[in-house]
Structure 1
Amino acid sequence: MSTDLDQLTDWLKEHKITEVECLISDLTGIARGKIAPTNKFIAEKGMRLPESVLLQTVTGDYVEDDIYYELLDPADIDMYCRPDPNAMFLVPWAIEPTAMVIHDTFDKMGNPIELSPRNLLKKVLKMYADHGWMPIVAPEMEFYLTKRSDDPDYPLQAPVGRSGRPETGRQSFSIDAANEFDPLFEDMYDWCEAQRLDLDTLIHEEGPAQMEINFRHGEALHLADQIMVFKRTMREAALKHDVAATFMAKPITDQPGSAMHLHQSVRDAQSGRNIFSNEDGSPSELFLSYIGGLQKYIPELLPLFAPNVNSFRRFLPDTSAPVNVEWGEENRTVGLRVPESSPQNRRIENRLPGADANPYLAIAASLLCGYIGMVEGLRPTQPVQGRGYERRNLRLPLTIEDALERLENCKALEKYLGKKFIAAYVAVKRAENENYKRVISSWEREFLLFSV
């Protein structure tokens, strides 16, 4: 541990850092923590935070008292947060030389906190390691740029680009449409390079000012950290150019939703060989079982891929998002796509997670589904040929209420996720949904005000 802290200290001094943002991810994916002067951070070798931050909702509220005290110590005790030297990043937009360091959370006995999303991903990765496997992921993050607005009742609008006009119509893969925001993306790429984020390509997606950033493939925990950092970085770059960036799953009516597509494969930890392919290059039994696991357990784990009431708007009929867990080769109309590739690069793309999902939980859940499939030898359905949107078998829950109920009642997942984590996650998401249902929508005012 001291060697790791020495490495972290040397890095802070090398970059002349004066302030450190000490971060953890809550269940929603919000970065919570403290900002400390570098000298204090080095001296304390971490921080303490109340356990209760892991039971906060997206509005900052907490779950009901009876559930709260069942899951946490009634004294509202602290958890101990230790910095991970492999998860330190510069904050290029800060005025003073600043770093953000992602922490892991422990109780006073040194045990990992069960409710921590990062700890859950590490738990899943250990399952793989125990079999001599190493999962590899490559996320694709979609998001919208919009005009800034201080009125949450006002529909979001496309921002004005360099031409002086907002986008109209669909501009999929348009280079000129992406170039409308060149100054913004130049800052974003410069900042991400300073943070050593493994970005690959920038794509203009279907919606007005909807973009996609692809990450290079790599180790799962490091990519989850990078997504958390990237979302903060993208929002800051947008604000600098007087627009907003949103990772909501469905921010604009009648426009495509935003996804976090997860490409995933598994290597033999010793040889580096892709276990999804046989020596002759054909798909392996483990590959088929991995798909079988995704098909069986994604419907049970859907709240980790679609965590908000808004997430399910992305799954409405006649949208570009698949609403099934069918699979097929080079088929974007199914939830599980197998891209064309060489045997060593054989992978499965999970197209169901929304851009609003907590990256630690979405990656952990996707890898867990595949892991269970491999260890239980599950078999997938036949691959879909042609259009898969209308497929009705293996259909997903279509509301957050139904999805949470399925997760809560899936006993097979308790031994992997832990009973406490499931109870906490369901409680937080139900509290958020109850809060949402108290808000009167513009649709109700428009169509019911003088009609009923």
Structure 2
Amino acid sequence: MNNEIFEWLREHRITEVECILPDMTGVARGKIIPKDKFVSEPEMRLPEAVLIQTVTGDYPDDSMLDLTDPDMVLQPDPNTLRFVPWAVDPTAQLIFDCFRANGQAVETAPRNVLRRVLALYEEKGWEPVIAPEMEFYLLSPNPDPDIPLAPPIGRTGRAEFGRRSYAIDAVNEFDPLFEDIYDYCHAQNLEVDTLIHEIGTAQMEINFLHGNPMDLADQVFLFKRTVREAAFRHNMYATFMAKPMEGEPGSAMHMHQSVIDHKTGKNIFSNEDGTPSEHFFHYIGGLQKYLPSAMPFFAPYVNSYRRLTRYTAAPTNIEWGYDNRTVGLRVPHSSPAGRRVENRVPGVDVNPYIAMAATLACGYLGMANQIGCSEPMQTNAYELPYQFPSTAEEALDKLRTCPELAEVMGSRFVEMYLGVKEKENAEYFRVISPWERKFLLLHV
């Protein structure tokens, strides 16, 4: 057992440990173990099938797994040790990594997928840097899924209406909630930065400080759970659906990304004279070439594609431009040292480990293969033709025929991921929607 973990648990008089692993959908799976039992048996065992549950709790084709259904060996990552700040009794949480009995990493575990991509960067002497931005909606409690969602009641006693983008008073409506969110984040060392009100009704955005992709993926994974828990305690829901409300814009997880040279510590996207480097243009070229094939990682559900439509503050193309929010790949104004690319395509419904692995994989392929990019877009890119797969099925077909992404992210992982998403799509199409009952039942 890691002595640092033991001492931390003892010092803080922890009584229980939440042993967590993120599955492919980004759900926290695992066990809650009494502290004394955890200290004596820090390893945990669970079947690999835990990783590939669909969002509905089902499973893809059984033939994808070992028919004997062997256990994975799960080992805690000491760097992820944190409090569970909303727990009644002193409780800790730890994220676990997945291995086989022979010590080999389990390829389908999302953290291992990201670790695989980061290893490719390390071989080149590069260190990627990520800064995610998280959009989400606050909602009135909605126990009946057949009833449309509505904004919550704020401190004035009224529900928000209309667009309140960047309005300070609109954020202040929910001050008690945000105080708890910031307190919970501080207790877990989640390095959140700016809070703003986004375009949608009761839509918020919280940005993270830039840093190591694995650390940021852990933080985003825990942040989603944190916001939902805080909202429950204020008689609200918080949702990270990509498009939860009709007539309102969707929610994204924009990812700012750059790459540092290990030896010099400098941003490889800039030349010595401050101009953009070839690496910078090749990184964009890789994103432009492979983003359409990687869409299942950035738009993982049928609902995700409701967000990616024209004039909804979401990109519909793989163009890039300087400080242009209508393109899929925006380059913000910055110093040469801070030069970065913002991938605006992912919805906030993504698994952060997989989405970060995918965007870094696209950029890596661009730099490794010296893929050129287009000229920067200087006009409104919403006027251009749609450049992404328009449905979940089309996106899965496109990923299935992209061997380059499978090689970088792991062919077995991609196969399993496709199986999970195909099962979810099949489940979705079994459900008859209110729209169909309203307009088709008595009229066709």
TM-score band, normalised by shorter chain: over 0.9
Deviations 1:326-351 (A, max 9, x none): 00000000000000000000000000
Residue identity opposite 1:196 in structure 2: N
For normalisation by structure 1, the TM-score amounts to 0.97
1:85 maps to 78
- Contact preservation (8 Å) 2:358, 2:409: no
Deviations 1:78-131 (A, max 9, x none): 101100001112100000111110010000000000101110000000100111
| Alpha-carbon distance in structure 1 between the residues aligned to 2:283 and 2:160 | 41
**Unaligned regions of 5+ residues in structure 2, if any?**
none
| Alpha-carbon distance in structure 1 between the residues aligned to 2:358 and 2:5 | 30
1:429 alignment partner, one of 395, 401, 421: 421
1:415 maps to 407
Task: Give 1:34 deviation, angstroms.
Answer: 0.5
| Alpha-carbon distance in structure 1 between the residues aligned to 2:381 and 2:139 | 31
| Alpha-carbon distance in structure 1 between the residues aligned to 2:264 and 2:340 | 17
| Alpha-carbon distance in structure 2 between the residues aligned to 1:98 and 1:271 | 41
1:353 aligns with 2:346: yes
2:34 maps to 37
2:20 maps to 23
Q: 5 Å matches for 1:78-227?
A: 78-227=71-220
Deviations 1:191-245 (A, max 9, x none): 1001111100101001111000000000000000000110000000000000000
Task: Give 1:269 deviation, angstroms.
Answer: 1.5
1:438 aligns with 2:438: no
| Alpha-carbon distance in structure 1 between the residues aligned to 2:286 and 2:29 | 33
| Alpha-carbon distance in structure 1 between the residues aligned to 2:85 and 2:210 | 24
Deviations 1:259-303 (A, max 9, x none): 000000000112210010000000000000000000001111110
Task: Give 1:149 deviation, angstroms.
Answer: 1.3
2:251 alignment partner, one of 258, 264, 287: 258
Residue identity opposite 2:3 in structure 1: D
Residue identity opposite 1:52 in structure 2: A
Where 1:139 maps in the other structure, the secondary structure is strand
1:331 aligns with 2:324: yes
1:268 aligns with 2:261: yes
1:380 maps to 373
Deviations 1:294-330 (A, max 9, x none): 0001111110010000000001233210111100000
- The list of structure 1 runs, each at least 4 consecutive aligned residues, that deviate by more than 2 angstroms after superposition, is none
1:62 maps to 59
- Contact preservation (8 Å) 2:164, 2:198: yes
**Unaligned regions of 5+ residues in structure 1, if any?**
none
| Alpha-carbon distance in structure 2 between the residues aligned to 1:134 and 1:44 | 35
Task: Give 1:409 deviation, angstroms.
Answer: 1.2
- Contact preservation (8 Å) 2:361, 2:405: no
| Alpha-carbon distance in structure 2 between the residues aligned to 1:162 and 1:208 | 15
2:236 maps to 243
Where 1:185 maps in the other structure, the secondary structure is helix
* Deviation larger for 317-326 or 251-260: 317-326
| Alpha-carbon distance in structure 2 between the residues aligned to 1:283 and 1:436 | 45
RMSD between superposed Cα atoms in Å = 0.9
| Alpha-carbon distance in structure 2 between the residues aligned to 1:13 and 1:210 | 40
1:296 maps to 289
Where 1:303 maps in the other structure, the secondary structure is helix
Residue identity opposite 2:55 in structure 1: V
Task: Give 1:418 deviation, angstroms.
Answer: 2.2
2:315 alignment partner, one of 319, 322, 325: 322
| Alpha-carbon distance in structure 1 between the residues aligned to 2:201 and 2:12 | 39
| Alpha-carbon distance in structure 1 between the residues aligned to 2:123 and 2:293 | 24
Identity %: 57
Task: Give 1:392 deviation, angstroms.
Answer: 2.1
Residue identity opposite 1:210 in structure 2: Q
Where 2:373 maps in the other structure, the secondary structure is coil
2:389 alignment partner, one of 384, 389, 397: 397
Residue identity opposite 2:369 in structure 1: E
Residue identity opposite 1:24 in structure 2: L
Deviations 1:161-183 (A, max 9, x none): 00111111111000000000000
| Alpha-carbon distance in structure 2 between the residues aligned to 1:29 and 1:414 | 20
* Deviation larger for 409-418 or 86-95: 409-418
